[in-house]
Amino acid sequence: METEALSIRPFTDQVFKRPYLIAGPCSAETEEQVMSTAAQMAEQGIKPDLFRAGIWKPRTRPGSFEGIGRPGLSWLKKVKEEYGWKTTVEVANTQHVFDSLKAGVDVLWIGARTTVNPFSVQEIADALVGVDIPVLVKNPINPDLSLWIGSLERLKKAGITRLGVIHRGFSAFGKSIYRNLPRWEIPIELIRQFPELFIICDASHICGNRPGLWEVAQRAMDLNYDGVMLETHCNPDAAWSDAAQQVTGSGLKSILDRLTIREEKSADPKFIDNIEDIRHQIDVIDSEVLNMLGERMKLADKIGMFKKLNNISILQSGRWNEIIEKSHEKGKKLGLSEEFITKILTAIHEESIEHQERIMIES
């Protein structure tokens, strides 16, 4: 079920050029480290829209560096005074909010480990009642769109009207080229429901490594994200947290220089005519696909009836494996990836099973 529009104000009242850039160290470690990082960025001609640094760091296991705490806020204030950059920090409870507001932090963000807990989000929302400050909400660590939306709704009810989201990927068990799986379809669906939302891609946490940062950031730009968050450190290899995913000031410039920023629309009549014609063709094919899927489910209903009459189980593993193998082979010839074929057929198979289950329980 879709929710009502959030009715929010623009996240920033300043004109900005995509990508909106949030950059700075994963953690504020020392005053020298924070200021050196800012100096490196300035030397490269980089002026971030927001300078970030983790003050309080929620860690998976005890014993890891969990942030310098309140003293680090004064270092951010110094960056703001020397370079004129706005600052942002992650908050996870009421005290974090109060300390950050007192230190003049310009934007707050709620981290993935906090978004997953409605009680924690509500605590932050309650602390912000009567405060006009932009707030960014990272996706929860698990792929739960409703939980993400719920966090935004809690903040909106507390009177926060300048809201945005940060896509940082989702935790998953097993090996992957990503630290956190992007699951692009989830933020895409969020923006479909709430097109007014400001969206940032945290490429650093999706990748967990430096080599993949440009590719993920470019994918975000191709999907019309407003900006990127890239963790930047004066000496990444010596970082106290998440060393592998941070870049130097020159590394950040290299990524930004390579990014291609695409426009959402074009006023070129030729482009508009051509793309509308192609979209019409796609609409026709989509309609045919839906009709064919409807016909397929009618056949699934017939199979379910035969299985019921003959007391045969719904799931036929051998048949399912045969369909997958044949479809992979055919899909390859059509330029379709095995992953795509598997996703499509799995969804169709699950719908088919549901149809047959309904028939099985009918009296």
pLDDT, one tens digit per residue, over 239-254 is 999 999 999 999 999 9
| Alpha-carbon dihedral angle through residues 296, 302, 307, 310, given to the nearest 10 degrees | -160
Mean pLDDT of 156-163: 96
pLDDT higher than 50, residue 70: yes
* Of residues 263 and 291, more confidently modeled: 291
pLDDT, residue 235, reads: 98
State how far the alpha carbon of 1 is from the alpha carbons of 4, 145, 348, in Å. 10, 12, 21
- Distance in angstroms (rounded) separating the CA atoms of residues 174 and 163: 33
| pLDDT value of residue 57 | 85
Q: Is the pLDDT of residue 271 over 70?
A: yes
Q: What is the pLDDT of residues 162-176, one digit of tens each?
A: 999 999 999 988 889
Split at pLDDT 50, 70, 90, the class of 1 is: very low
Q: What is the pLDDT of residue 203?
A: 98
Domain ranges of the chain: 20-258, 269-361
Using CA atoms in the order 208, 213, 218, 219, what is the torsion angle rounded to 10 degrees? -20
pLDDT at 118 over 70: yes
133 to each of 30, 33, 97, 164, 189, how far by Cα in Å?
27, 27, 11, 11, 26
Does residue 2 register a pLDDT over 60? no
The distance of Cα 353 from the centroid of its chain, to the nearest Å, equals 32
What pLDDT score does 287 carry? 95
pLDDT at 363: 61
Does residue 20 have a pLDDT over 50?
yes
Which residues is 52 bridged to in the sheet?
88
CATH number of 269-361: 1.10.760.10, 3.40.50.300, 1.20.59.10, 3.40.50.11540?
1.20.59.10
What value does the mean pLDDT take over residues 32-61? 94
Model pLDDT, residue 213: 98
Mean pLDDT of the chain: 94
Q: Express each pLDDT in 178-192 by its tens digit.
A: 999 999 999 999 999
Q: Which residue did the predictor score with more confidence, 264 or 20?
A: 20
The pLDDT value given to residue 4: 63
Domains 20-258 and 269-361 share a fold: no
Superfamily of domain 20-258: Aldolase class I (3.20.20.70)
CA distance 358 to 363: 10
- 215 burial class (0-12, 13-18, 19+ CB within 10 angstroms)? middle
Q: Identity (one letter) of the amino acid at 109?
A: W
Q: What is the C-alpha separation between 304 and 308, in angstroms, rounded? A: 6
Tell me what the mean pLDDT of segment 81-95 comes to: 98
* Contact of 111 with 88, CB cutoff 8 Å: no
- Over the stretch 311-347, which tens digit does the pLDDT of each residue have? 988 888 888 899 999 999 999 999 999 999 999 999 9
